[in-house]
Amino acid sequence: MVKIFKAYADETRLKIVKLLLSKQAKGGLCVCQILNALQMKQAAVSKALNVLKNAGVVTDIKKGMWVYYSISDTNQTKDINIIIKKELGSDTIAIKTAGAIKSPQACCDSKRCK
């Protein structure tokens, strides 16, 4: 449980969680979509996704040449995600960020999302 709370306790990781909880992220997001929406460097996003994945907060699935990340729906993370999702409606930065999500074909080159 401590590992899960530590995963949420970082601003970058929390931004990613908020992005993945947004309506625009249905079906998951690839790394380049997250990079473009958050305007962050790939190393920071990859490191944050790794911590979130190891804590069981996110899952990944490979579809074609892209790896998509989505929120894990485990009993341990479900209640925390409900609280974060309720906050999303009033979080103008998260709403603006979610609006910046592009299709993977529009933002990815084959090297960044594999």
- pLDDT, position 76: 80
Q: Is 53:59 a contact under the CB 8 Å cutoff?
A: yes
- pLDDT, position 97: 60
* pLDDT per residue as tens digits for the range 16-49: 998 898 866 778 898 888 888 888 899 999 999 9
d(CA 98, CA 14): 13
CB proximity list for 38: less than 8 A, separation 6 or greater: 12, 15, 16, 19, 45, 97
* pLDDT per residue as tens digits for the range 49-105: 999 999 999 999 998 888 899 999 887 888 887 887 777 665 555 555 656 566 655
Residue 110 pLDDT level (bands cut at 50, 70, 90): very low
- pLDDT, position 53: 96
The domain segmentation of the chain, as residue ranges, is 2-107
Specify the CATH architecture of the domain 2-107: Orthogonal Bundle (1.10)
